[in-house]
């Protein structure tokens, strides 16, 4: 039978995995958007009209900056999520009773808040 600390650790891993998956889905959606913008830019690349060329250059520059920023932010978010999950796991294993007490206290507080809002 699993101990309370092991259950808390498993739940922490599950939450970390779900957060990781959510970030991956968002990154995938953004990548699709960037792919579509890139395709659009390629299709208008042959247009030599001065106004179109100027606008295309501005969009290309903004697109590259946004893509780099999103990639950097997504990578940072993934690394931070992983580090938080590892740190939580290590803390729970070192201090199981503190983790259990903290979880119980938070549960009681949430229960009291939810019960109080029904009145």
Average pLDDT, the chain: 80
Predicted pLDDT of residue 109 = 92
Q: Which residue has the higher pLDDT, 79 or 21?
A: 79
**114 and 46 Cβ atoms separated by less than 8 Å:** no
**How does pLDDT run across 88-101, given as a tens digit for each residue?**
888 888 888 888 88
CA distance 3 to 5: 5
State the pTM of this model: 0.47
The conformation of residue 44, written as its DSSP 8-state character, comes to T
**How does pLDDT run across 5-53, given as a tens digit for each residue?**
566 556 656 666 777 777 778 778 878 888 888 888 787 777 778 877 7
């Amino acid at each position: 039978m699993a101990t309370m600390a092991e259950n808390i650790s498993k739940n922490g891993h599950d939450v970390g995995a779900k957060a990781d998956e959510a970030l991956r889905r968002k990154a995938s959606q953004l990548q699709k958007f960037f792919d579509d913008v890139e395709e659009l830019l390629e299709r208008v690349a042959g247009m030599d009209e001065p106004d179109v060329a100027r606008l295309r250059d501005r969009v290309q520059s903004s697109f590259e900056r946004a893509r780099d920023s999103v990639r950097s932010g997504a990578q940072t978010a993934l690394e931070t999520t992983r580090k938080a999950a590892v740190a939580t796991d290590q803390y729970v294993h070192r201090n199981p009773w503190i983790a259990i007490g903290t979880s119980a206290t938070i549960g009681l507080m949430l229960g009291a808040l939810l019960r109080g809002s029904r009145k």
